[in-house]
Structure 1
């Protein structure tokens, strides 16, 4: 393998390293910011390492200098052979990052109680730092503090760095743990992931760096292959927040935020807090935060998508990583955005190549934003029907 090739190690279900794969034919790994990453590896079925490629095992992928790229379980092992193949064919191995473990759990309204005692409709986070709230949710629903039947014995939590702003909010019953963590982290400007540390899986929260002054990509610098910048209009400029109305009187308020590109555009969006008791001492904080989240999610956006490549002076993993803010020269202006995902590709004959998606080429497109908005409306209507039926 080339000296710059990615290093691949295989682990068993107990996370014990059982071998190194140094004869793969190709490897693509995609770490993602606040999302589940993935990898695809191809290897000859004749390889002596092929027997290690089994569902339940996992891969640990590192750069040539030993920096962890990602780790995660193998999910698929596909075999294929053509009529012209004189060998035993090839195996194509697919897997996901260890962050996927968070997608297996939901947020119980009373995580310390058995399923038959889930009488509450919501789980409340009261004025706590964002990282602390995230760690509490993971610990109570999947980590060391979870019920024995729900506890993942391999999952631990990194030390609390008390990062992020103070938040106050309520979670609907049995919301996806991964989705809730993503919402909190993105609003707080934090990153999170689950990676293998020694013989366990560790939930980590971190604060991405603003490298827009040093991690700079441009065609005239020789580290940019393509770029595009698009704008999309807002879907919400006025949050109409409604709380109470069931056991307590309704309280309604509106919060406006003019869009800088569309200052005269008024779009109202209903924010459903009717499950919140209006007698709550932190009612104002909850309503304000709900309005802030709705306005932030519905704000007009400028999306910068670039395909940078590694050069000796600026390399992924050493100089920037997923979640960091970088700069790219678009026409005659420098623009900044977050590195959402990185694709590292390696073949037996070549070294490792790197391309990064800065901004979003799909999740923030105009059509995708409209569908996301409609999907949220449908979800809110479904929850409203559920409450009325109850």
Structure 2
């Protein structure tokens, strides 16, 4: 029986070399605004084996020909036991092309030589969030950057002007992927790098709210298992300090109560001493720094569900990574949040889907799944109290 997902091998210039048609197991993990992964098992004496080498890459497509993930091969491991027939087994690991963004930093003056990087920040003043993100990628890694930094295969998709106007300062040499994650998360946008033709294309998109149509529950028969977990907060009070060098020192405290630990206070110093306190946007910069520290240090929750692909509701057609879906969980209540990642597996013609919903959101508040779990636990606690009484 043919495998449900198609795997192709590419070389370093993105030219397709052939297809891996005899893999025994494939796992593909697309992630929302993050680096995805591909894991491939096959016989070591497969005709494709000589092509599966570091420096080449993989492209995973659906049976219909849509690209799920593409990226460079990072590991090729061989093993053999006495029970193995033939030449043993290969396990090939690849990462998504999004990892390209993690290789670069954001220069304060991207088009200037390294000796001319005198400013402490890069200032964004763009008509839309997407425009600001595209500028960051273009000037630091893309065709608009310095020749010595330019990635020869990177292109940018057409500008869809997603998101409102963006005014922001980026600290000198912050990681490009991390900055894009912060900006896109705050605006509710998605981005990715994927092979299109003979280029690696940076794309920005607006995910779809499918909470009313992509609904999963045991009662509907499209859910096999579900679980949730929480991680406690690391910061509930941000102490932001600006100035102190050539300008007067200004300090401000920002608090946010944790829904699971309402009385817990965890202080964190946020260094903004490089900001001149005479700046007209001082308050905005301090507010942004405080808000980001609280968001990054907030308690987090994650929800994993294993949907069943049915004719009425299928991954890739009816919902995708980044879309908002609904799941009915403990206590029968519905939870709505973003699909953060999906794990697709394929072997012997069979395939399965497992989705992770919620988790590390970038909406500037404690993750909604965390608040949901806190409320569920409170409700269960009240129910036990009533029963005990």
Q: Shorter-normalised TM-score: what interval?
A: 0.7 to 0.9
Deviation track 1:195-227 (CA, whole Å, cap 9, x = no partner) reads 001100011111111111111111112222222
Query: Is 331-340 or 44-53 further displaced after alignment?
Result: 44-53
Alignment correspondent of 1:336: 336
Query: Is 266-275 or 142-151 further displaced after alignment?
Result: 266-275
RMSD value, Cα: 2.7
Measure, in 1, the Cα distance between the counterparts of 2:98 and 2:48. 26
Q: Does 1:52 align with 2:51?
A: yes
Q: Helix, strand or coil: the match of 1:220? A: coil
Deviation at 1:103, TM superposition (A): 1.1
Measure, in 1, the Cα distance between the counterparts of 2:300 and 2:77. 40
Alignment correspondent of 1:308: 307
Deviation at 1:231, TM superposition (A): 5.5
Alignment correspondent of 1:277: 276
Instruction: Summarize the Cα distance change of 1:188–1:40 in structure 2 as closer, same or farther, 3 Å threshold.
Output: same
Alignment correspondent of 1:154: 153
Measure, in 1, the Cα distance between the counterparts of 2:281 and 2:104. 28
Measure, in 1, the Cα distance between the counterparts of 2:178 and 2:162. 19
Deviation track 1:89-135 (CA, whole Å, cap 9, x = no partner) reads 22221111000111111112221111222222322234653222211
Deviation track 1:12-69 (CA, whole Å, cap 9, x = no partner) reads 1111112122222221111111111111112222222222212111111111111211
Query: Is 242-251 or 63-72 further displaced after alignment?
Result: 242-251
Alignment correspondent of 2:249: 250
Measure, in 2, the Cα distance between the counterparts of 1:128 and 1:289. 19
Measure, in 1, the Cα distance between the counterparts of 2:261 and 2:80. 57
Alignment correspondent of 1:11: 10
Measure, in 2, the Cα distance between the counterparts of 1:79 and 1:298. 41
Query: Is 298-307 or 29-38 further displaced after alignment?
Result: 298-307
Measure, in 2, the Cα distance between the counterparts of 1:189 and 1:279. 32
Q: Does 1:171 align with 2:179?
A: no
Measure, in 2, the Cα distance between the counterparts of 1:229 and 1:95. 28
Alignment correspondent of 1:346: 346
Instruction: Summarize the Cα distance change of 1:57–1:229 in structure 2 as closer, same or farther, 3 Å threshold.
Output: closer
For 1:26-45, what aligned pairs fall within 5 Å after superposition?
26-45=25-44
Deviation at 1:252, TM superposition (A): 3.1
Alignment correspondent of 1:200: 199
Measure, in 1, the Cα distance between the counterparts of 2:282 and 2:108. 19
> Gapped runs of 5+ residues in structure 2?
361-365, 371-389
Taking structure 2 as the reference length, what is the TM-score of the superposition?
0.85
Measure, in 1, the Cα distance between the counterparts of 2:29 and 2:203. 18
Q: Helix, strand or coil: the match of 1:289? A: helix
Measure, in 1, the Cα distance between the counterparts of 2:178 and 2:231. 24
Q: Are the aligned partners of 2:304 and 2:354 in contact in 1 as well (CA < 8 Å)?
A: no
